[in-house]
Every structure is written in C-alpha cells, then in structure tokens.
C-alpha cells in the first residue's frame, strides 16, 4: 500500500481570506459538505476568534459535517484557543490549529518578542490546546524565513508538549522548490521527536510556486499538504488542492504516495467554490480551467482522436469533467428531472424539488436543451440560496440606441407586491436603480461579471455581482437565458444575502 499524504483543506479559512470573499454560514456549509464528499482529511473551517460570524461558521461545520476532521485556527494565546475549542467541540474529530511566527523579521517587527518568549508561548499554547483535544497542530508562521536551528528547537518543544502535526508554512511564497525541499529535509533531520508528528506544509503562491514547493516538500518527507480549492487565498493564494492531488496521482510512479481524494468530485467542488466565492477560475488553470482539456490545434485534435494519451495526461472524467450531454428539454417531466439530478449527485425532495423544477421549466421555455451545467446553475440559483426576502416578479426594459434606458421592476418584498421605475446610463444601471428604489437599499457595486454557462447563442447567462456594505463584500448570482434578467436576479440575490446576514447577526447578538 503506498504511503498516504493527508489533504488539509483551508478553503474556508485561508481561502476565505482572499480579498473580496465573504461566505455566509449556508455557503460555508455547502462547501464543507462538498469537501467531505471530495474526501479531504481535514477541513479548516475558520478562525473563530476573528469575528462572531467566523465563530458561527466554524461551529456549524463542526456540528453538521461528519466523517472528516474539523480544524479551527487560533493564535498562540489562551483566549484564541479557548474560543477555537468552543467552536469545534461538537465535531466528530476536532483539531485545534495554533500558530505563532518564528522568523526574526516577524518576531522583531510584528510580535516584538524574543526567540525564547516565542518558544515558551508556543509550548504553552500547545499544552492549552492539548487540554481540550488530543489532535493539536502547531504552525510556525513564516517558517521558511526562520533560522532553521531555532525552528527545529521550537518544533521539538511543541512535539514534546503534545503537538501531533507540525506545519511549516512558506507564508510569503518566497521559497524555490529545491530550497524548500532541502529545508524540509533539514527540519526532519534536525528536530528530535519529529517521528511522533505528521510534518505538514502550507505554501503561498506569490511567485507561482506553491504547488511545486508543496510537491518538493512531499518528496522530502512531508505527509500533510495544506491547500485550497482553485488555489484561492491571501494575496496570490495557496497551493491548489486539485493540482497537488492530480500531480501526486498522475506521477504516482515517481512519488509512490496516495491521497484519499475522490478525484471525480474535483470539478464539481471547483465550480461550487468559484460560484459561492464569486472568484472566477482562469480559463487556462490546470485541472479545472475551461481550457484545461480542450485541444485547439488540428494536429492535437487528430492525435487525441487517434489515441487520447497523445496529448492528454489526465482523462477528464477522472476529475469529474464529462462531455456536456444534452439531457432535458421543455417536455421533460418531473421524474426525468429528478432522476438526472440524482445521477449528478443531488437528492432533492419536497419544496426544494418543486422550486428547482419550476425554474427548470421556465428556462426550458427559452432554451431548447438543458445540459448538466445548466442544471447545476439552476441549483445554485434555487436550492443553494438564502431565504428570499425579495423575489423578482418581472422586469421590463425599454432600451435602444436612441432612447434613455428605462426599467420597470416588479418585486415581492416579504410577500407584498411592489413596483418601481427608473432610468439609467444603460439597461443594467436602470434595472439596478429601479431595484434600489423598490427596496430602499443601495450599495456600492464592486464588480459585475457576466458569463455563459454553456456555449451557443442560446446559452444561459450567469451574472455574478459583488457589492460592498461597510467592510463586507457580498456576492450574488443570477441565471437566465436573458442577460438583463440574469443581472436583475443577481442583484436581488445579493440583497437577500445582506438581509439574511443582518438577521443572523441580530439573532446572535
């Protein structure tokens, strides 16, 4: 049996630290459930001390998601660790992940602490965490820029205090693969007691080397990789889970290692994370980008048709990318609809099924063939949503090259019908202004992205908007065969999320 590399997913913690990303509890739960289906070993669900919202998110994941270790991040301080434990105590397998920086630059300028004080604080933190749970991870922040001898002393001390995993981050993405591999080898050789702990790495992507560095570390003895779906995270992000996993799999003859990941869930997970965070995946992104398995040149196409492996090192179906089959149309019944969803892994019943089916029928009236990707988009828009305070009843737009764009909007606001009208610089602007008048809510638009769910001029349009409300950015999405309707739906969706967030915050205050 090949040795195992543990996959520690930090999409919900480091990934959520991506600029402009903020997930509500429902969204965190959806992602966490999908990560469990993907079969990651550890889900880092958040940083409970950071905010009440973070605490609730971590707690919800710990209470609901089974079959996986749930970790919470805590600085090396008693209040942080206590709060982390409070959030994860109901998890099936709880882990406290505590950290302090060990590089001179961080100790001098950020912490203003001596080496000895840092060492002592790290040990105290691990002991405190150990009082709560046997599964304790210690991270030496900015480890790669630390003095390796001092780092080894800290790691030996925290292992003696009970840390079961020790993590060596390249916090600022500074390392080169050969250097990082060598660094891990030195740590393994220079740390007494290291065999009692799992050695982990956590690489940032500032120089585009996070995956390469993680693999170099694994080659030199690391057995846990911290990563995020689509590589999202602070600044340029973290090592991309899908790339690490597929590199280990595709080149298994080189590494002789395995992960527990169900690779067929990779593509779906990537799409879910992209949809809910509102962070698009670049077209040429390895493994999950739109172009990752497309062959444009005639020579390549010819080769692939003759023998797939001439130009494809991974079979797309291995990561869950299957050619979009034309599945359903407007004559398809409820039974066929439900069966197809079941085949795609979605078990819908009752109200959820009704809602999704109604939306499917509406779309099937305007688009002849509804593909699997369309179905997923419909689900994103219906069942994967927060409760609707606002519902779009209708949108009428008057526009053209010689008229001032004008929108009439009909909304249900908590069940009551409201209509309003507005002009704008363009049809979307007019629609958004009409919605703002009808709801009495107005926010700064941070971004507006339009995408086609599938190819063809009859493709469904998917619009993602981000708006800012004080210090938070919210993401909304709308899908329709009509671009303007999709735009209005996206805006209504983001308003629903803001109201939902306000209500949950009030409930917990």
The string of DSSP letters for 97-144 reads EEEEE-SHHHIIIII---HHHHHHHHHHHHHHHHTT-S-EEEEEETGG
- Shortest Cβ 164–ligand KIV spacing (Å): 16
> Quick one: what does residue 487 bind among Zn ion, ligand KIV, none, with the CB cut-off 5 to 8 Å set by partner type?
none
Contact partner, 99, from ligand KIV, Zn ion, none, Cβ < 5-8 Å per class = ligand KIV
The reply to whether 99 sits near ligand KIV by the rule CB under 6 A is yes
Q: Which is nearer to ligand KIV, 102 or 263 (CB)?
A: 102
Stretch that binds Zn ion, among 8-16, 53-61, 110-118, 345-353 (CB under 5 A): 8-16
C-beta of 14 vs 137, nearer to Zn ion: 14
* Contacting residues for 73 by C-beta, under 8 A, at least 6 apart: 13, 44, 46, 47, 48, 84, 97, 98, 99
Query: Considering the complex, what minimum distance in angstroms separates the CB of residue 220 from Zn ion?
Result: 20
Query: Which one of 22, 103, 139, 389 is in contact with ligand KIV (CB under 6 A)?
Result: 139
Residue 183 or 491: the one with the smaller Cβ distance to ligand KIV is 183
Q: Per rule CB under 6 A, is residue 54 in the interface with ligand KIV?
A: no
Reduce the DSSP state of residue 305 to 3 states and report it: helix
Provide the minimum distance between the beta carbon of 72 and ligand KIV in the complex, in angstroms, as a whole number: 12
Of the two residues 110 and 290, which places its CB atom closer to ligand KIV in the complex? Answer: 110
Q: Report in angstroms how near the CB of residue 383 gets to ligand KIV at its nearest.
A: 33
The verdict on 202 binding ligand KIV (CB under 6 A) reads yes
Stretch that binds ligand KIV, among 165-173, 213-221, 254-262, 478-486 (CB under 6 A): 165-173
**Cβ contacts of residue 333 below 8 Å, gap of 6+?**
none
Span near ligand KIV by CB under 6 A; candidates 28-36, 166-174, 454-462, 486-494: 166-174
Tell me if 141 contacts ligand KIV by CB under 6 A.
yes
| Count of residues of this chain found to bind ligand KIV when the rule CB under 6 A is applied | 9
Select the binding partner of residue 162 from Zn ion, ligand KIV, none (C-beta < 5 to 8 A, by kind): none
Closest-CA residue to 353 (of 334, 340, 372): 334
What kind and span of H or E run contains 451?
Answer: strand 444-452
Q: How far apart are CA 328 and CA 335, in angstroms?
A: 11
Given ligand KIV, Zn ion, none, residue 153, with its beta carbon under 5 to 8 Å by kind, binds none
- Residue 220 site contact among ligand KIV, Zn ion, none (CB < 5 to 8 Å, cut-off depends on kind): none
The answer to whether the CB of 243 falls within 8 A of the CB of 287 is yes
- Tell me: does residue 95 bind ligand KIV (CB under 6 A): no
Nearest to 159 by CA among 120, 191, 113, 115: 191
- Piece in contact with Zn ion (CB under 5 A), picked from 14-22, 27-35, 77-85, 335-343: 14-22
Residue 444 has a CB neighbour count (10 Å cut-off) of 9
Interface with ligand KIV includes 213 (CB under 6 A)? Answer: no
Which DSSP state fits 17?
G
We find the least distance from the C-beta atom of residue 483 to ligand KIV, in angstroms, to be 39
Which residue's beta carbon is nearest to the bound Zn ion?
14
What is the chain's Cα-based Rg?
25
In the set 7, 12, 13, 14, which binds Zn ion (CB under 5 A)?
14
- Residue 141 Cβ vs Zn ion, minimum distance, rounded to whole Å: 8
Contact 452, 461 (CB under 8 A): yes
- Both tokens of 134, joined, read 């046997």
As a whole number of angstroms, the distance between CA 336 and CA 475 comes to 32
Report how far residue 127's alpha carbon sits from residue 136's, in angstroms, rounded to the nearest whole number. 9
Give the shortest CB-222-to-ligand KIV separation in angstroms. Answer: 14
For position 106 contacting ligand KIV by CB under 6 A, the verdict is no
3-class secondary-structure state, position 405: coil
Span of 167-175, 383-391, 441-449, 469-477 interacting with ligand KIV by CB under 6 A: 167-175
Query: Could you say whether residue 14 binds ligand KIV (CB under 6 A)?
Result: yes
Q: Which stretch binds Zn ion (CB under 5 A): 10-18, 254-262, 412-420, 462-470?
A: 10-18
- Characterize 202-220 residue by residue with b for buried, 16 or more Cβ atoms within 10 angstroms of its Cβ, and e for exposed: bbbbbeebbbbbbbbbbbb
141 contacts Zn ion (rule: CB under 5 A): no
The pairing of strands 6-9 and 3-4 is unpaired
3-state secondary structure of 394: strand
Using CA atoms, how far apart are residues 233 and 227, in angstroms rounded to an integer?
9
Length of the chain as a residue count: 509
Q: Which span sits near ligand KIV by CB under 6 A: 128-136, 163-171, 217-225, 383-391?
A: 163-171
* Residues 118 and 138: beta-carbon distance below 8 Å: no
Neighbours of 249 (CB within 10 A): 17
- Residue placing its CB nearer to Zn ion in the complex, 209 or 392: 209
**CA gap 106, 108 in Å, rounded:** 6
Q: Residues in the site for Zn ion, rule: CB under 5 A?
A: 14
Q: Residues in the site for ligand KIV, rule: CB under 6 A?
A: 14, 99, 139, 141, 167, 169, 171, 202, 204
């Amino acid at each position: 049996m090949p040795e195992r590399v543990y996959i520690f997913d930090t999409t919900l913690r480091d990934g959520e630290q991506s600029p402009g990303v903020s997930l509500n509890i429902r969204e965190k739960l959806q992602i966490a459930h999908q990560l469990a289906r993907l079969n990651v070993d550890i889900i880092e669900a958040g940083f409970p001390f950071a905010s009440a919202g973070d605490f609730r998110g971590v707690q919800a994941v710990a209470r609901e998601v089974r079959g996986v270790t749930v970790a919470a991040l805590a600085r090396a301080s008693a209040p942080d660790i206590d709060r982390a434990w409070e959030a994860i105590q109901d998890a099936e397998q709880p882990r406290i992940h505590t950290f302090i920086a060990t590089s001179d630059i961080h100790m001098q300028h950020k912490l203003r602490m001596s080496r000895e004080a840092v060492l002592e604080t790290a040990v105290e933190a691990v002991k405190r965490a150990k009082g709560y749970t046997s599964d304790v991870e210690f991270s030496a922040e900015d480890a790669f820029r630390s003095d390796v001898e001092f780092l080894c002393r800290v790691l030996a001390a925290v292992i003696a205090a009970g840390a079961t995993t020790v993590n060596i981050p390249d916090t600022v993405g500074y390392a080169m693969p050969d250097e990082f591999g060598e660094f891990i080898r030195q740590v393994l050789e220079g740390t007494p007691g290291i065999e009692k702990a799992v050695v982990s790495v956590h690489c940032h992507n500032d120089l585009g080397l996070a995956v390469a560095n993680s693999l170099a570390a694994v080659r030199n003895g690391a057995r846990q990789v911290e990563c995020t779906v689509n590589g999202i995270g602070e600044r340029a992000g973290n090592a991309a889970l899908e790339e690490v996993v597929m590199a280990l799999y595709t080149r298994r003859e080189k590494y002789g290692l395995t992960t527990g990941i169900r690779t067929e869930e990779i593509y779906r997970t990537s799409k879910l994370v992209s949809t809910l965070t509102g962070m698009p995946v670049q077209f040429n992104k390895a493994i999950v980008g739109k172009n990752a398995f497309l062959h444009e040149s005639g020579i390549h196409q010819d080769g692939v048709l003759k023998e797939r492996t001439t130009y494809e090192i991974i079979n797309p179906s291995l990561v869950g990318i299957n050619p979009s089959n034309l599945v359903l149309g407007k004559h398809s019944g409820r039974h066929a609809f439900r069966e197809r969803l079941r085949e795609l892994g979605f078990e819908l019943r009752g109200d959820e099924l009704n809602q999704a089916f109604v939306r499917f029928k509406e779309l099937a009236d305007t688009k002849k063939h509804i593909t699997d990707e369309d179905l997923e988009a419909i689900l994103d828009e219906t069942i994967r949503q927060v409760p609707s305070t606002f519902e779009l009843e209708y949108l009428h737009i008057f526009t053209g090259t010689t008229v001032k764009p004008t929108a009439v909007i009909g909304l249900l606001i908590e069940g009551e019908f409201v209509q309003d009208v507005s002009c704008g610089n363009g049809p979307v602007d007019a629609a958004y202004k009409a919605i703002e008048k009808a709801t009495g809510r107005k926010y700064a638009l941070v971004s507006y992205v339009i995408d086609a769910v599938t190819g063809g001029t009859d493709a469904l349009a998917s619009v993602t908007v981000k708006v800012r409300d004080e210090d938070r950015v919210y993401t909304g999405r709308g899908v329709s065969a009509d671009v303007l309707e999709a735009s209005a739906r996206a805006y209504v969706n983001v308003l629903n999320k803001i109201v939902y967030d306000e209500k949950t915050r009030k409930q917990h205050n």
